[in-house]
Amino acid sequence: MTDRKTLEDIVNRFYDVREGNDKDGVLSFAGPDFSFGIVCSGKLAENVPRVCEPAALDAVVTTLISEWDMSRMKTARLYVDGDTVLAHRAGQLRHTPTGREMETEYIDRFTFKDGQIVDLTEFVDTLLIAETIGLVQS
């Protein structure tokens, strides 16, 4: 098991890279057999399946970076339990294609193995996202 400080440092570096819109940097954090998913249901679930394959992961990260400006999101708190880190994030999120800005909070769950991220699962305000991208009327 990796120590708490190391896990916190990795998560903080991950967010620094993400806020800088560095796709290759984001992808460099993915350990072997990495998977990414956003917890959601209904129409939104059809558009955001869990991804594991490198090509699919590359495409998802490219889309997220180009469509969602997270530069004003900040880490409110990190919670570490063994090889799992929960990151509570809060701040201003901007949907780049529409220019819409919104105040929001979300939780990221990072799972580590041998000091590498092997899973990242996001728990976001799915109604806010669905409204923003036009899947449902606000």
For 93-109, how does the pLDDT look when each residue is reduced to its tens digit (9 = 90+)? 999 999 999 999 999 99
**Residue 61, in any domain of the structure:** yes
**Residue 137, in any domain of the structure:** no
Find, among 15, 55, 50, 14, the residue nearest to 35 by Cα: 50
**The sheet that has 30-38: what strands, in order across it?**
30-38, 116-123, 100-113, 84-95, 68-81
Distance of CA 109 to the CA centre of its chain: 9
Mean pLDDT calculated for residue range 115-130:
92
**Residue 138, in any domain of the structure:** no
Q: Checking DSSP bridges between strand 30-38 and strand 116-123, what pairing results, if any?
A: parallel
Domain assignment of residue 114, given as a range: 4-132
**Residue 122, in any domain of the structure:** yes
Cα gap 52→44, rounded to integer Å: 19
> Chain-wide mean pLDDT for the chain?
92
Cα gap 18→135, rounded to integer Å: 25
**Residue 15, in any domain of the structure:** yes
Distance of CA 7 to the CA centre of its chain: 16
Domain of residue 84, CATH code: 3.10.450.50
Cα gap 56→78, rounded to integer Å: 28
Distance of CA 9 to the CA centre of its chain: 16
pLDDT in tens, 48-90: 789 999 999 999 999 999 999 999 999 999 999 999 999 999 9
Q: What confidence score (pLDDT) does residue 126 get? A: 85
How many CB atoms neighbour CB 121 within 10 A? Answer: 16
This prediction has a pTM of: 0.92
The tally of domains found in the chain comes to 1
pLDDT in tens, 19-33: 999 999 999 999 989
